[in-house]
Amino acid sequence: MRGHELLGQWIASLVLAGALLWTTQAEAGPITFNTALPVNANELILREQVIWLRATDDPSPMNRNLNVIAVPTVLVYGVHPRVAVFGILPFLYKRMDITTPSGQRVRRSASGFGDLSTFVRVTALQIDRPRETIRLAPFAGLKMPTGATGIADDLGPLPPVLQLGTGSWDPFGGLIFTWQKLRWELDLSGSYLVRTEANEFNAGDEARGDASFQYRVVPWGEVGPGVPSWLFAVLESNVVWQGRDEIGGVENPNSGGVNWYLAPGLQWVTLRTVLEAAVQIPVLTRTNGQGLGQDFIARVSVRVNF
Amino acid sequence: MRPTKRILTMITATALAAGILGVAGPAMAAIDHYEVQVDGLACPFCAYGLEKKLKKLPGAANVQIELNTGWASFDVLSGVLLPEPVQAAVRDASFTPRDIRVTASGTVQGKGDELRLSVGGDQTLTLHAGEAFDKLRALVNKGDRNVVVTGLIRRVDDTWQLAVAEAKPQ
């Protein structure tokens, strides 16, 4: 496998890692990234997701076909009305079909738990009005190398994209703005993930800008008595920039780039649960070199308030 | 019958008669019902956290949340629940308590414009001008000091003031 091809696979890998890392919010709110909405003091929220990433647009002769199913479990605990601690542990199934130099089509795969991430979110600004809230919350955390990185099969060590972990300790942080009313909700987020070196490989850092607009479509008119269930139509935008990778301190020109996704979705919100689904569709792809082109990232999710 | 036994018999008979006839002494003083305007409440999933916090308050029952108005209400079926823990529960749910309307029952103390209602512990509601304050004053002047009052309350210095919006004999 040529170096730039191997590294190109990292783009898909990093996008998936980002998809896992930035979908940790467990309150109502955006589907593909975080929110500043409240978590009660001493309360626990669970979010289970199923994320399917498919990347098949391979310009190389290997004709790689990557499928990843990720099931991240997110637990959120409110330690204070303004402070919440998040923990995310994904279970991963990764599979790649690849054409070898001899022309044989082979399948390589791995499954198991990936990298554990944890972060703290603090509500720095809270403006509450009747039936409306505006919140601003910085967050900071760390992705830990708990996922396996030395997995091999009969053909040898699996490529990085199929490993369950990155092997690196990666700090991250950002800022989330949420404006929620009875009729709609707007969320904006900016974040940065610092990738550190592991196994002589240092993936490029990642910066993201996310936006989400949720509009209540059921009930369409006035909200009824009590706490009725709502259906939101959701449109989200994710712009992801990734820096170039380094191997042994040497920057790789065939890595990094910018991707812009649009994600239409639906969200059913009740008193105790949220059911939702969204598909992130790549609108603009400016990857450097020969990276795997993404088809989509689909996700369904349920959140339960305990 | 010995004097001690006679006294005990009289006390028992008096107590039974009072119970049967409904003759009451000073009424049990308490805030029986709360309505709280909760600012920042704008989604069903967030409302659940508030509901849990309110249900955990001692004696609280029948918690109702109205998303369309932003008000939460509940009854206090037993014990004494003062407004401070209610406000704290709303804040713990990460919202902001604004107006609080209560229904309180008990014996009015004082006279004229200086009327007070003990609501348990050492807490007293100062009853003051509201649309039903004149009605309350008339009840007190008539001797009906055991009343049920409803109105918005607010903290002024160390006391809670209730603007009497409704008043009726208990």
Contact predicate A208/A19, CB 8 Å = no
CB nearest to A305's CB, from B49, B67, B98? B49
Residue pLDDT tens, chain B, 170 long: 455 555 445 444 444 443 333 344 444 668 999 999 999 999 898 899 999 999 999 999 999 999 999 999 999 998 888 899 999 999 999 999 999 999 999 899 988 888 999 877 677 889 988 889 999 999 999 989 999 999 999 998 888 899 999 999 98
Q: For position A21, what pLDDT does the model report? A: 54
CB nearest to B43's CB, from A28, A82, A130? A28
DSSP letter for B29, please. P
Tokens of A273: 């649960």
Q: Please give the average per-residue pLDDT across A191-197, as a whole number.
A: 95
Put simply, whether B51 touches A (Cβ < 8 Å) is yes
- Could you report how far apart the first and last alpha carbons of chain A are, in Å? 49
- Chain A partners within 8 Å of B42 (Cβ): 131-133, 180-182, 185
- Chain A partners within 8 Å of B51 (Cβ): 227, 271
Q: Tell me the pLDDT band of A45, cut-offs 50, 70 and 90.
A: confident
Helices assigned H by DSSP within chain A: 3-21
Q: pTM value?
A: 0.84
Which string of DSSP letters, residue by residue, matches A152-178?
EETTEEPPGGGSS---S-EEEEEEEEE
Q: For position B66, what pLDDT does the model report? A: 95
What 3-state DSSP class applies to B87? helix
Q: For position B5, what pLDDT does the model report? A: 56
Residue B157 burial (10 A CB sphere; 0-12, 13-18, 19+): exposed
Q: Is residue A134 scored above 80 in pLDDT?
A: yes
Say which residue the tokens 């001692």 belong to: B58
**Distance separating alpha carbons of residues B63 and A59, to the nearest angstrom:** 61
Q: Is residue A172 scored above 90 in pLDDT?
A: yes
Tokens of A202: 């240092």
**Distance separating alpha carbons of residues A235 and A255, to the nearest angstrom:** 29
The structural domains of chain B, ordered by start, are 24-170 (3.30.70.100)
The structural domains of chain A, ordered by start, are 3-305 (2.40.128.130)
Q: Is residue A5 scored above 50 in pLDDT?
A: no
Tell me which of A40-49, A270-279, B5-14 is least confident: B5-14
Q: Tell me the pLDDT band of A26, cut-offs 50, 70 and 90.
A: very low
- Chain B partners within 8 Å of A274 (Cβ): 45
- Chain-chain contact of A182 with B94 (C-beta, under 8 angstroms): no
Please give the backbone phi and psi of residue B128, each rounded to the nearest 5 degrees, phi first: -145, -175
Contact predicate A27/A39, CB 8 Å = yes
**Distance separating alpha carbons of residues B109 and B126, to the nearest angstrom:** 10
The shortest C-alpha distance from B46 to chain A (Å) reads 7
Tokens of B143: 């001797």
**Distance separating alpha carbons of residues A249 and A246, to the nearest angstrom:** 5
Say which residue the tokens 């994600």 belong to: A263
Q: For position A248, what pLDDT does the model report? A: 84
- Chain B partners within 8 Å of A273 (Cβ): 45
The shortest C-alpha distance from B44 to chain A (Å) reads 5
**Distance separating alpha carbons of residues A69 and A53, to the nearest angstrom:** 7
Query: Rounded to the nearest 10 degrees, what angle do helices B44-55 and B83-92 cross at?
Result: 140
C-alpha A1: how far from its chain's center?
28
Q: Is residue A174 scored above 90 in pLDDT?
A: yes
- Chain-chain contact of B47 with A230 (C-beta, under 8 angstroms): no
The shortest C-alpha distance from B77 to chain A (Å) reads 21
What 3-state DSSP class applies to B9? helix
Tell me which of A162-166, A252-256, B73-77, B112-116 is least confident: A252-256
Q: Tell me the pLDDT band of A17, cut-offs 50, 70 and 90.
A: low
pLDDT in tens, A55-91: 887 777 888 899 999 999 999 999 999 999 999 999 9
Give the C-alpha distances (Å, rounded to integers) separating A185 from A202, A302, B137: 37, 19, 49
What 3-state DSSP class applies to A73? strand
Q: For position A31, what pLDDT does the model report? A: 87
DSSP letter for A130, please. B
Q: For position A228, what pLDDT does the model report? A: 86
**Average pLDDT score, chain A:** 87
**Distance separating alpha carbons of residues B105 and B127, to the nearest angstrom:** 12
Instruction: Say which amino acid occupies B49.
Output: G
Q: What percent of chain A is predicted at pLDDT more than 90?
A: 61
- Chain-chain contact of A43 with B44 (C-beta, under 8 angstroms): no
Q: For position A290, what pLDDT does the model report? A: 67
Q: For position A97, what pLDDT does the model report? A: 94
Q: Minimal Cα distance from A125: which residue of B?
A: B94
Q: For position A18, what pLDDT does the model report? A: 55
Q: Please give the average per-residue pLDDT across A136-164, as a whole number.
A: 93
- Chain-chain contact of A131 with B41 (C-beta, under 8 angstroms): yes
- Chain B partners within 8 Å of A136 (Cβ): none
Q: For position A292, what pLDDT does the model report? A: 65
Q: For position A62, what pLDDT does the model report? A: 84
Contacts of residue A167, defined as CB under 8 A and 6 or more positions apart, other chains included, come to A145, A149, A198, A199, A201
Give the C-alpha distances (Å, rounded to integers) separating A112 from A147, A148, A154, A164, B135: 8, 8, 18, 7, 73
Say which residue the tokens 């626990």 belong to: A44
What 3-state DSSP class applies to A14? helix
CB nearest to A225's CB, from B43, B53, B66? B66
